[in-house]
């Protein structure tokens, strides 16, 4: 299963992705809004888990390739949070790209294609995205995708300890739109 956009190829993980993924997960700028950087072993485990999830579900956190630019830029795709929260069960969309590829529209472009896949192929009714309150870059992507934010959905991430500065999180949502037909258009 692959998703192609104008500039991206979202695909299965390859062994050659592991080195650049480990470098990405060790970059303090990339992990600024994550609890910590990842060791090489943790990074490899995350990639393996992501690929296994795709095996099991037919979708997941796809490796992001930018043909003609880089064979691996990060990931974009779906996951299921591994903790309990008021908005569960849910399908979460997320992305993590190498700093070199920030600010070029890749996260938004890839996430739009993943949302379309989620609604049109997987027939999901709702997709969510979460981040820490201060992660303005990711929140802007969520807003560009048409996701909505309600402060009533703010929550403390249950896997982070009380008092941790990244514990307060925001939740954005987007629902599948009903198909527009002439019978439901108002004149």
Q: Is residue 113 part of a domain?
A: yes
Confidence of residue 179 (pLDDT cuts 50, 70, 90): low
Say if 80 falls within a structural domain: yes
For the beta carbon of residue 116, count every other beta carbon within 10 angstroms. 12
Give tens-digit pLDDT for 95-151. Answer: 999 999 999 999 999 999 999 999 999 999 999 999 999 999 999 999 999 999 999
Interatomic CA distance for residues 70 and 101, integer angstroms: 10
pLDDT at position 184 over 80: no
SS (H, E, C) the chain: CCEECCCCEEECCCHHHHHHHHHHHHCCCCCCCCCCCCCHHHHHHHHHHHHHHHHHHCCCEEEEEECCCEEEEEEEEEECCCCCCCCCCCCEEEEEECHHHCCCCHHHHHHHHHHHHHHHHCCCCEEEEEEECCCHHHHHHHHHCCCEECHHHCEECCCCCCCCCCCEEEEEEEECCCCCCHHHCCC
Residue 184 located in a structural domain: no
Q: Which of 80, 115, 113, 111 minimizes the C-alpha distance to 97?
A: 111
Rounded CA-CA distance 173/166 in Å is: 20
CATH number of the domain residue 156 falls in: 3.40.630.30
Residue-wise burial string across 4-42, b where 16 or more C-beta atoms lie within 10 A, e elsewhere: ebebbbbbebeeebbebbbebbeeeebeeeeeebbeeee
Residues in the chain: 187
Tokens of 169: 């999180």
**Inside any domain, residue 186:** no
In a domain, 41, yes or no: yes
Tokens 């997960």, residue?
A: 25
Residue 126 within any structural domain of the chain: yes
Indicate whether 187 belongs to any domain.
Answer: no
Spatial distance between the Cα atoms of 144 and 112, rounded to a whole number of angstroms? 9
- Structural domain count, the chain: 1
State which residues form the domain around 57: 3-178
**pLDDT tens digits for 1-49?**
899 999 999 999 999 999 999 999 999 999 999 999 999 999 999 999 9
Residue 153 lies in a domain: yes
């Amino acid at each position: 299963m692959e998703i192609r956009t104008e500039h991206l190829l979202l695909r299965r993980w390859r062994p050659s992705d592991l080195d650049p993924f480990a470098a990405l997960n060790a970059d303090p700028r990339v992990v600024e809004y994550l609890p910590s950087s990842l060791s090489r072993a943790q990074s490899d485990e995350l990639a393996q888990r992501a690929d296994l999830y795709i095996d099991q579900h037919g979708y997941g956190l796809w490796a992001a390739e930018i043909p003609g630019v880089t064979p691996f830029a990060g990931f974009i795709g779906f996951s299921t949070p591994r903790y309990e929260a008021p908005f569960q069960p849910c399908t979460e969309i997320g992305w993590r790209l190498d700093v070199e590829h920030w600010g070029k529209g890749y996260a938004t472009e890839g996430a739009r294609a993943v949302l379309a896949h989620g609604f049109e192929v997987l027939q999901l009714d709702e997709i969510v995205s979460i981040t820490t309150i201060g992660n303005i870059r990711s929140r802007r992507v969520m807003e560009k995708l048409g996701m909505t934010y309600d402060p009533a959905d703010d929550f403390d991430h249950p896997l982070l300890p009380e008092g941790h500065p990244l514990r307060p999180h925001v939740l954005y949502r987007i629902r599948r739109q009903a198909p527009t037909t002439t019978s439901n258009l108002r004149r």
